[in-house]
Structure 1
Amino acid sequence: MAEKSSAQLIFIPSPGMGHLVAAVEMANLLLDRDDYLSVTMILIRLPSQLDVSAYVDNLSVSAPTDMSERIEFIDLFKLDGYDSSAETNPGFVKTLFIESQKAQVRNVVAEIVRSNSVRPGSPRLAGFVIDMFCTTMIDVANEFGAPTYMFYASSAAFLGLMFFLQSRKDEHDMDATEFKNDPDAELAVPSFHLPVPASALPYLVVEKSCAPFLLQHTRRTREVKGIMVNSFQELESHAITSLCDGVLPKVYPVGPVLNLNRDCISSRMLSSGTHLILKWLDDQPNSSVVFLCFGSMGSLHEDQVKEIAYALEHCGLRFLWSLRRPPQKAKNLTYESPGVYENPREVLPEGFIDRTAERGRVIGWAPQVDILSHPAIGGFVSHCGWNSILESLWFGVPIATLPLHAEQHLNAFEMVKELGLSVEIKLDYKSGFYCDNDRTVVGAQEIEEGILRLMVHDSDVRKRVKEMSEKGRKVVMEGGSSYSSLGHLVNDLFNNF
């Protein structure tokens, strides 16, 4: 039998810490599974993303030596004269920016291939692993005769929705933007059991200025060799089965792919008072605290903040609330992330902090994994980002839904209506960048009712979440469905180059 040769993968995550962290976790899974694999992570980042270098430096310190020697990071922090000043559509700007980096990526890969060709025993280029927004890099992979795979950090149901909308447009000239003003309409989407309400569709697929870019990415996704989906069979069985139709690229459910390494924390995060938060939680009874957090890009306007505060004060429950200052509106490549209030009292009802001091804490940045894993946490009011959903399921913490933007409304619909794994506060609330109706307010009574349902100790939702948590932990162990799927993926990687 011929000796197995080493294989090298080129990972290209989309700009953004969330995309990078997910890509690194996926790369680590592959490296851990096969010693013959190595990874080069090409970082395309925006000028405002100053935390990327610190994150990579922390990885190099905390990673095991054998793993760190098989993963390399190449930072393309260079704009090549790209001028986005004439563009105001964030989706278009991001697409053009990634497109503008193709020449640099091509040069980097060419140097890798050249260097490997003159060193005996060097790995061969086995393929590219791209983010869902980096489909233009398929062209670069094709130039090197390498197969392209995609790591899809969202749900299988959302992937199915995008294929459905793309074929609907291309084959029947039916445009999803027609649903922007018809939220009561419903769609029969193959990746869902239930009809999907138009109100659950991501804003970007019904907005005329953005939808064409998402559909183009979906068209090109059909060209890849396989799609690694951050989900698992036991969670999204119907959606995953619907994607295995023999026409679409092969799907590998490899999730939950999570960043659970709490040792790799930057000094900035440590200084934000993580130890004080956890110390406060240590003093609370088990499953007694409701945690409110809306993601790295999530924030709420002042009117909505006050309604949440009224609900928390009136319900009488213990709470830990990550409250973030809204960012500046997106402007080309230099939009800001949500910030921290120097004095949260300026947006909260007068006297709220003092009246709730014995049972609640209002914080800025939140160490979400540390908090969700703490036994004092009994429920999670969440924006329903897919990664947050997977984390909450991993730790067996039920969610109450308050989605803000992106595909979060679809995730909330799936979790509440399709899977029965979450409690509804709201499914169609929209707030934040890209949204033109961000002054909508969910009232305190509706929020309070949702929180009280969330914190019921022996509810059916809580029982189902606990059961799914157990299943989610088993699927990544030897013999589990995701473990097996990852094995098939590794075999295919070696057989396809």
Structure 2
Amino acid sequence: MKAELVFIPMPRTGHFVSMVQLAKLLLNLHPNLSITVLMMKLNPDAKLAAYVHSLTATRMKFIDLPPPETHEDESSSNFVTTLLQTHGPLVKQASTNIVQYSTSVLNSPRFAGFLGFQFYILHLHDEQNVNIFELKDSDTEFTIPSYLNPVSSKLFPTFFLKPGSLPVVITLTRRLRKANGIMINTFWELESHAISSLSDASALPVYPVGPILNLESETEVHQSSDIMKWLDEQPPSSVVFLYFGSGGSFNGDQVKEIAFALEQSGHRFLWSLRQPPHPSKGLRASPPDYDDASKVLPEGFLDRTHGIGKIIGWAPQVAILGHPATGGFVSHCGWNSTLESIWFGVPIAAWPVYAEQQLNAFELVRELGLAVEIKMDYRRDGMDSGELKS
């Protein structure tokens, strides 16, 4: 008997790729299964389009959803709410001829600790009547079951503390409570405490199905042969790789501080440096590469670090982390990046940038001892060169 699954990933590269990797694993395990991926389109993404084009599985197809009639500014706090509301009817319509469609579309967390955090925020809001907004400027510590150590409210993602976005979080978490089960891209050996706490606190089944990784990077390596050639020329475990995710970028002053620190450290480095997207593109736009990175770097930096350092734009992260020359990773602590660095055994220096990455870093540094902290005052705008150099 043939079965059909419909996947509806959020329109961000990290979410999309990990969900498609899960789909590929399921197809390999079940020969009678077919999968359709419904794609919400926002800003054009050439690399994501190339990734989709490279997938030739005959039992997996992609359907582009038509753009909604109304479009919320991506910089708006109501963006996620509007995205789900406007695409809901489009998803139902596209699914009509595929499978019988459930009325709830859920975007589940990708790791166990954060799922426990979401449920705890819902508990504070619904059962303890805590005003979550009042935690914005506080340093209150909470005992959250999915974490071993007390968690400061300073580590809470900012979108949990905004009037425009908290209702979205609360609504989605309530829906998660009604699900038949939740699959999480994690594994028991990494998050055993968090997974156990979720199982103890709720009758809701939680399935750790990870690590789900996109390790098939032949296309990436081909497109970035100059990067791989440079790494081939470096000694084993000698290069520090700096990469802050598909949405990570810094202002000019912060870029200069990082550059000063790298130069003073004397270590070999490979730095994925990208410029902040134009405000008109919205907060969720991918940072473009610099046409000329020397304009934002300290004068003479490229000449002084020639031979020991390399500045690049977009980075083939999997290929770089898997290269023998890579010995350290300055990371934003996105969950995909975290799993990939653990897979390849590359030590992490945690520098979270946005979203839930503050809690990711806390878990890696304080809970699991798998990373070192660059700083823990994550809501400050930046840092000076001494912090990074040390």
Report TM bin, short chain.
over 0.9
Partner SS, residue 320 of structure 1: strand
1:36 paired to 2:25: no
1:56-205 to structure 2, matched below 5 A, reads 56-60=52-56, 68-76=57-65, 78-84=66-72, 90-113=76-99, 140-142=101-103, 152=108, 154-182=110-138, 184-205=139-160
1:240 paired to 2:192: no
**Structure 2, unaligned runs of 5 or more:** none
- CA displacement at 1:80 relative to structure 2: 3.7
Are residues 152 and 29 of structure 1, via their aligned partners in 2, closer, same or farther at CA, if it must alter by over 3 Å?
farther
**C-alpha distance in 2, partners of 1:347/1:191?**
42
**C-alpha distance in 2, partners of 1:150/1:362?**
39
**C-alpha distance in 1, partners of 2:61/2:82?**
26
2:270·2:311 contact (CA, 8 Å) conserved in 1? yes
- TM-score, normalising length: structure 2: 0.94
- TM-score, normalising length: structure 1: 0.75
| Partner residue, 2:384 | 443
Deviations 1:128-184 (A, max 9, x none): xxxxxxxxxxxx514xxxxx79674522101100010012101111132222111x2
Q: What amino acid maps onto 2:15 in structure 1? A: H
Partner SS, residue 74 of structure 1: strand
1:258 paired to 2:209: no
- CA displacement at 1:50 relative to structure 2: 5.3
- CA displacement at 1:30 relative to structure 2: 1.3
Are residues 167 and 297 of structure 1, via their aligned partners in 2, closer, same or farther at CA, if it must alter by over 3 Å?
same
Are residues 402 and 326 of structure 1, via their aligned partners in 2, closer, same or farther at CA, if it must alter by over 3 Å?
same
RMSD over equivalenced CA pairs, Å: 2.1
1:226 paired to 2:181: yes
Partner SS, residue 111 of structure 1: coil
**7-16 vs 412-421, which moves further:** 7-16
1:314 paired to 2:236: no
| Partner residue, 2:242 | 292
User: Aligned match of 2:369 in 396, 408, 420?
Assistant: 420
**C-alpha distance in 2, partners of 1:227/1:262?**
28
2:334·2:357 contact (CA, 8 Å) conserved in 1? yes
- CA displacement at 1:91 relative to structure 2: 4.0
**C-alpha distance in 1, partners of 2:189/2:105?**
23
Deviations 1:281-319 (A, max 9, x none): 111111111110100100011111111111111111111
- CA displacement at 1:17 relative to structure 2: 2.2
1:149·1:224 contact (CA, 8 Å) conserved in 2? no
1:323 paired to 2:273: yes
**C-alpha distance in 1, partners of 2:197/2:105?**
19
**C-alpha distance in 1, partners of 2:54/2:194?**
36
Question: Percent identical across equivalent pairs?
Answer: 47
- CA displacement at 1:12 relative to structure 2: 0.9
| Partner residue, 2:251 | 301
Q: What amino acid maps onto 2:237 in structure 1? A: S
**C-alpha distance in 1, partners of 2:245/2:347?**
16
Q: What amino acid maps onto 1:315 in structure 2? A: S
1:289-438 to structure 2, matched below 5 A, reads 289-329=239-279, 336-430=285-379
2:198·2:206 contact (CA, 8 Å) conserved in 1? yes
Partner SS, residue 90 of structure 1: coil
1:311·1:445 contact (CA, 8 Å) conserved in 2? yes
**C-alpha distance in 2, partners of 1:175/1:241?**
28
2:240·2:329 contact (CA, 8 Å) conserved in 1? yes
**C-alpha distance in 2, partners of 1:88/1:371?**
31
- CA displacement at 1:223 relative to structure 2: 1.4
**401-410 vs 248-257, which moves further:** 248-257
1:149·1:225 contact (CA, 8 Å) conserved in 2? no
| Partner residue, 1:433 | none
**C-alpha distance in 2, partners of 1:296/1:212?**
26
**C-alpha distance in 2, partners of 1:401/1:91?**
27
2:74·2:284 contact (CA, 8 Å) conserved in 1? no
- CA displacement at 1:10 relative to structure 2: 1.1
Partner SS, residue 141 of structure 1: coil
| Partner residue, 2:161 | 206
**C-alpha distance in 1, partners of 2:181/2:309?**
46
1:23·1:151 contact (CA, 8 Å) conserved in 2? no
**C-alpha distance in 2, partners of 1:159/1:374?**
32
2:277·2:288 contact (CA, 8 Å) conserved in 1? yes
**Structure 1, unaligned runs of 5 or more:** 61-67, 114-124, 126-139, 143-147, 431-436, 450-497
**C-alpha distance in 2, partners of 1:79/1:12?**
15
**C-alpha distance in 1, partners of 2:251/2:258?**
11
- CA displacement at 1:330 relative to structure 2: 6.6
